[in-house]
Amino acid sequence: MSISAYAVIMRPANAIVSGVTAIMSYLVASGTDTISAFALFFIVTVICGAGNVLNDFFDLAIDTINRPNRPLPSGAISAKNAAIWAGVLFCSGIIASFATGPWCLAIAVFNVVLLIAYAAKLKKMPLFGNLSVAYLSGSIFLFGGVLAGSASLAVMLPLFAISFFGTLAREILKAAEDIEGDAVWGAKTLPMMLGVQKSGYVAVVLVLCAIAASTAPYSHWGAVYLVSIAMIDLFVLYAAATSIRCRTPAELIATRSTSLIKYGMFATLFLFLIMELWHGFIFPQL
């Protein structure tokens, strides 16, 4: 049994990126307390890591064939110890949330329950699994908003909506890419029911919803923001629209739509951060 395997099974890069995103969301929401920012980083990182551990626990049979080198199928960690480790991480995140206030605690508890339900059941259900992932992605921005204060939450709602709709579009396209593999394991996803091309149309509609949400901060940040977000929006819309012409998973993978949408979402987060720093700290009177 390797101690390093306990870190690997958390997928630390993924978990840490989520934690850093939480700090950025706190800054966008005008948060200024360093201790609160690091507390939020810890909460999001360990809860995300726990979710990754739990997913590996429930996917052990599949990973034994597809990813035999991962900690569980390779024997670096036993299934029992992985379940205990996930529980420790979940509890650590919830306990830390007590220091941040009731709203952060409520979001943390709800997310833990949803992550458990997702790993055990929801991810195998058409659309429900995608909706769960989309909410969990967007909830990082809710964390930042409620921690900075209830008045700051309104600033984060557009980012939550952008993340929710953008992630949902990306998850549906990722499921469309995986149709053949999912069919082998008996999964039933939305793209398996709709087909690749119709899944592309759904993704475009969802991206348009994200674009609509992205216009909301115009009244707060002005024309510079509107022009900047318009360029990002066009990039993401193009990425989603390329999926419409695809009829097979291989064609969809070749477009790299899911990666391009992800890059656009990161660019949107950075734009929000730049706008908040510019208007909130450099030129607060503007």
Domains of the chain as residue ranges with CATH: 1-148 (1.10.357.140), 149-286 (1.20.120.1780)
- Segment 171-226, tens digit of pLDDT: 999 989 888 777 666 677 888 888 999 999 999 999 999 999 999 888 778 889 99
Task: Please give, one letter per residue, the 3-state secondary structure of 100-145.
Answer: CCHHHHHHHHHHHHHHHHHHHCHHHCCCHHHHHHHHHHHHHHHHHH
Note the pLDDT tens digit of each residue in 106-138: 999 999 999 999 988 888 787 888 999 999 999
Coil, helix or strand at residue 24:
helix
pLDDT > 70 fraction of the chain, expressed in percent and rounded: 92
Over its C-alpha atoms, the chain yields an Rg (Å, rounded) of: 19
pLDDT at 157: 87
Q: Are 163 and 139 in contact (CB under 8 A)?
A: no
Residue with tokens 């395997």: 5
150 pLDDT higher than 80: no
Instruction: Please give the full DSSP string across 134-188, using - where no structure is assigned.
Output: HHHHHHHHHHHHHHH-HHHHHHHHHHHHHHHHHHHHHHHHHHHHTHHHHHHTT--
Q: Are 271 and 229 in contact (CB under 8 A)?
A: yes
Query: What is the pLDDT averaged over residues 148-176?
Result: 87
And the tokens for 132?
Answer: 């769960």
- The dihedral formed by the CA atoms of 269, 272, 275 and 279, expressed in degrees to the nearest 10: -140
Sign of the Cα pseudo-torsion (180, 186, 190, 195, in order): positive
d(CA 71, CA 60): 10
CA nearest to 256, candidates 279, 285, 235: 235
Tokens of 261: 């949408």
The beta strands (E) that lie in the chain are given as: none
Residues 254-278 have pLDDT tens digits of: 999 999 999 999 999 889 888 877 7
What confidence tens digit (pLDDT) does each residue in 49-81 have? 999 999 888 888 776 776 778 888 888 888 899
What are the structure tokens assigned to 135, written together? 């909410």
pLDDT band at 283 (very low <50, low <70, confident <90, very high): very low
Residue 176 · residue 252 · CB < 8 Å: yes
Between 247 and 149, residue with greater pLDDT: 247
Interaxial angle between packed helices 218-241 and 196-214, expressed in degrees from 0 to 180 and rounded to the nearest 10: 170
pLDDT of residue 147: 87
Per-residue pLDDT at 156: 82
Task: Mention every residue, 6+ apart, whose C-beta is less than 8 A from residue 163.
Answer: 134, 137, 138, 140, 141, 265
